[in-house]
Amino acid sequence: MTKADTNSAVFGQLQQDLLIVGGGIMGLWAAYYAAQAGLKTLLVERGTIGSSTSGGLLGALMPHALDRWNDKKQFQFDALMSLEGEIRQVEAISGLQAGYRRSGRLVPLAKPHLRAIADEQMGSASTHWTTYFSGHRPGHYSWQTRDTPFAPDWPVASACLHGCTFDTLSARVSPRQLIAVLRAVLEQSPLVTLREHAELETLNPAEGKAVLAGGDAVHFGHSILAAGVRAFPLLDAMQPGLKPSGTAVKGQAALLQANIDPNWPILFDRGLYIVPHENGSVAIGSTSEVEFADPGSTDGKLDDLLDEACALSPLLRGAPVIERWAGLRPKAIGRDPMVGHHPEFPRLSLLTGGFKVSFGLAHRLAQSVVESLTGTSAISLPDAFRVEAHLDKMRG
């Protein structure tokens, strides 16, 4: 019997410091930091923990391009830097492995102008990435251009007519394993209750009251909406008359048993990700579909993607497909994550809109939200991530 089950009998009577809606990567990290801050927390999940988009296959953790450095890139860089330590900590608590490895990323350069841009960016890496490490491990992570593939057919030499870039900062994690690690940690916490098959129906942040499907009421001091793509309609219902706060973008991916060395870098080529994981499995992604009939199905677009992957690395040819998968990415209006206190609802914070990069940012975004509740704000959010910035766009 899980901790979630044992709590179900008294659930309707619980008074919570914090209600978190959504048991994906965002909500789970939020619950972890809330417990560390001593908040009695109830996390409600309409399905099972990690059963939605966060239960995917890829888990690529890649920095943005180095040109035009800004506060968003700095935030992402800091998040990618701190993630490994946070994962090692939750692994130690849970005794489970998250499948994290800083294996790097290789991007083939097919055109001469791309090589010129890449050579220019090498200088930026030594500025931005090394500065961070002054006094620690200067120059440990690098962004280099090289003339040859990482290994024969990784990727195929013809894709690297003008070389490739190779960075040693990129990493990958197994999304499902990380979810399992966080779940195990939260199940050990006396302050956190995980409640599955509990769908939030209405949220009244002014009164500090939520009602779940089935009629249970939850009274809370504060709430965090981390409901992925479903956060947008919930939010829109609270603020009628504005533009929609976000949309869902479908993505399809697959997992192959390709016996690729798990140390080998991610191959990334214009939206095609090839991500080696432990045990020789390799995740391939992703389509990006604004229009779709069935959010959960895979189709010929995934077959095309697999063909592209095999063309980029013939080592994948003939590898058995272990799984085909599809999910919906939460894309907030303006494309940036939508995070922090809602200015019009003092008991509500938002934590969604991670779109294609949630796994690299979620811990730090969640930490900043919890810090703002406990008045210990050390992490500063880029202005574009704040709810105010999204509200401006929704009113515009």
Ligand X SMILES: Cc1cc2nc3c(=O)[nH]c(=O)nc-3n(C[C@H](O)[C@H](O)[C@H](O)COP(=O)(O)OP(=O)(O)OC[C@H]3O[C@@H](n4cnc5c(N)ncnc54)[C@H](O)[C@@H]3O)c2cc1C
- Name the residue number minimizing CB distance to ligand X: 24
Residues 268, 62 contacting (CB under 8 angstroms): yes
- Nearest-angstrom CA–CA distance, 371 and 351: 13
Q: By CB under 6 A, is residue 336 in contact with ligand X?
A: no
Q: Are 252 and 231 in contact (CB under 8 A)?
A: no
Residue 327, interface with ligand X (CB under 6 A)? Answer: yes
Q: Which of 359, 389, 390, 391 binds ligand X (CB under 6 A)?
A: 359
- Token representation of residue 335: 């494309």
- Within positions 12 to 71, which residues make up the interface with ligand X, using CB under 6 A? 21-27, 44-47, 51-54, 56, 58-60
Which residue's CB is nearer to ligand X, number 54 or number 245? 54
Reported as half-sphere exposure (CB side, CA atoms, 13 A), residue 187 has a value of 16
By CB under 6 A, is residue 276 in contact with ligand X? no
Tokens of 196: 């599955």
46 or 115, CB closer to ligand X?
A: 46
State yes or no: residue 340 binds ligand X (CB under 6 A): no
Tell how far CA 86 is from the center of its chain: 14
Give yes or no for residue 319 binding ligand X (CB under 6 A): no
The order of strands in the sheet holding 164-167 is: 143-146, 164-167, 105-108, 266-269, 272-276, 281-285, 246-257, 321-332
Q: Is the peptide bond before 313 cis (omega within 30 degrees of 0)?
A: no
Residue 366 binds ligand X (CB under 6 A): no
DSSP 63: P
Q: How far is the CB of 191 from ligand X (least distance, A)?
A: 20
Residue 364 contacts ligand X per CB under 6 A: no
- Number of chain positions touching ligand X (CB under 6 A): 41
Give residues 224-263 in contact with ligand X (rule: CB under 6 A). 226-228, 230, 251-253
Beta bridge partners of 396: none
Tell me how far apart the alpha carbons of residues 141 and 376 are, in angstroms, rounded to a whole number. 30
Choice between 14 and 117, CB closer to ligand X:
14
Q: Is 334 in the site for ligand X (CB under 6 A)?
A: no
If one asks whether residue 193 binds ligand X (CB under 6 A), the answer comes out as: no
Residue pair 309/316 in contact (Cβ under 8 Å)? The answer is: yes
* CA separation for the pair 20, 28 (Å, rounded): 9
The length of the chain is 396
Tell me the closest approach of the beta carbon of residue 272 to ligand X, in angstroms: 12
Residue written as token pair 């080696």:
276
CB of 320 to ligand X, least distance (A): 20
**CB of 47 or CB of 221, closer to ligand X:** 47
Judged by CB under 6 A, the residue of 200, 306, 312, 339 near ligand X is 200
Residues within the interface to ligand X (CB under 6 A): 21-27, 44-47, 51-54, 56, 58-60, 199-200, 226-228, 230, 251-253, 285-286, 327, 329-330, 352, 354-360
